[in-house]
Amino acid sequence: AQTVTQSQPEMSVQEAETVTLSCTYDTSENNYYLFWYKQPPSRQMILVIRQEAYKQQNATENRFSVNFQKAAKSFSLKISDSQLGDTAMYFCAFMKLTGANSKLTFGKGITLSVRP
Amino acid sequence: AAGVIQSPRHLIKEKRETATLKCYPIPRHDTVYWYQQGPGQDPQFLISFYEKMQSDKGSIPDRFSAQQFSDYHSELNMSSLELGDSALYFCASSPHRYDNYGYTFGSGTRLTVV
């Protein structure tokens, strides 16, 4: 079974600054995907970024980038130039790679507040 | 673009009643997943279906059952409701073949048991 750990329950950042959200995971699988999802007050689950475990290059999506350390089983999310709209709950999630889509295992989440 | 449709958006039920939640996947998505998110909690996987057959099962109580129909929509039936069943219930759909950008969540059904 896989576990995903987000040890920081809350973080706060000043608008326009950079913040890093931490995530570690445990698995015996070699092939898997990792994701960061954003859940704003509307409660919609929105995909922020994904990382394939077999790729060494860290994924980047505009202001969002990850630091993927496979050996350390660490997957942190960096948000640059933070915006007020980034205020949300952020979940790190794991999916085993079987060639087909499968269930997501989520961490407990972190509440990010962006201050004006 | 079409999204995953869940109905109803909100539902209030009394203890011991029954509730039915519906999920309409994105067209051509053949796999449906159900997740339960309690207040302040992370989403927990309940059950999934591929081509109308159960494909995986998580921490779904025996009081809950689900199925996927020929048009690929899915229903989650919850009986003998308890206060602890109050949660946000997400449905997600995807193509069977891996494509996470096609793994899409609905807006959820908020169930309140009183």
Q: What is the pLDDT of residues A5-35, one digit of tens each?
A: 999 999 999 999 999 999 999 999 988 999 9
pLDDT of B101 over the 70 cut: no
Residues A58-89 as b or e (16 or more Cβ within 10 Å = b):
ebeeeebbbebeeeebebbbbbeebeeebbbb
Q: Give the pLDDT confidence score for residue B69 in this predicted structure.
A: 95
**Which residues 52-111 of B are in CB contact (within 8 Å) with A?**
56, 58, 88, 90, 92, 94-103, 105, 107-108, 110
Q: A29 near A13, Cβ under 8 Å? A: no
The answer to whether residue B91 scores a pLDDT higher than 90 is yes
**What totals of helices (H) and strands (E) does chain A contain, helices first?**
0, 12
A91 touches chain B (CB under 8 A): yes
**CB–CB contact A101 B41 (8 Å):** no
A51 pLDDT more than 70: yes
Whose CA is closest to B96, among B32, B31, B52?
B31
The answer to whether residue A98 scores a pLDDT higher than 80 is no
**What pLDDT, on a 0 to 100 scale, did the predictor assign at position B100?**
62
Cβ distance of B98 and A91 shorter than 8 Å? no
Mutate to test the interface with B, among A29, A92, A102, A111 (most CBs of B within 10 A): A102
Q: Is there a contact between B43 and B36 (Cβ–Cβ < 8 Å)? A: yes
Closest Cα in chain B, distance from residue A107 (Å) = 6
Render pLDDT for A61-95 as a digit per residue (tens, 0 to 9): 999 999 999 999 999 999 999 999 999 999 999 99
Mean of all residue pLDDT scores within chain A: 94
Please give the C-alpha separations between residue B78 and each of A74, B62, B106, in angstroms, as whole numbers.
37, 9, 19
Nearest to A68 by CA among A111, A114, A105, A25: A25
Residue B96: per-residue pLDDT:
77
pLDDT for position A45: 93
The partner residues of A93 in beta bridges, in order of sequence, read: A35, A106
Q: Is the pLDDT of residue A101 over 80?
A: no
pLDDT at A95: 92
Higher confidence at residue A26 or residue A100?
A26
Facing A109 at nearest CB: one of B42, B50, B102: B42
pLDDT above 80 (res B1): no
CB contact under 8 A, A47 and B100: yes
pLDDT in tens, A57-67: 999 999 999 99
pLDDT at residue number A86: 97
pLDDT of B99: 67
**What's the distance, Cα to Cα, between the start and end of chain A in Å?**
41
Tokens in use for B69? Answer: 């129909």
Q: Which of residues 23-62 of A touch B (CB under 8 A)?
A: 33, 35, 42-45, 47, 50
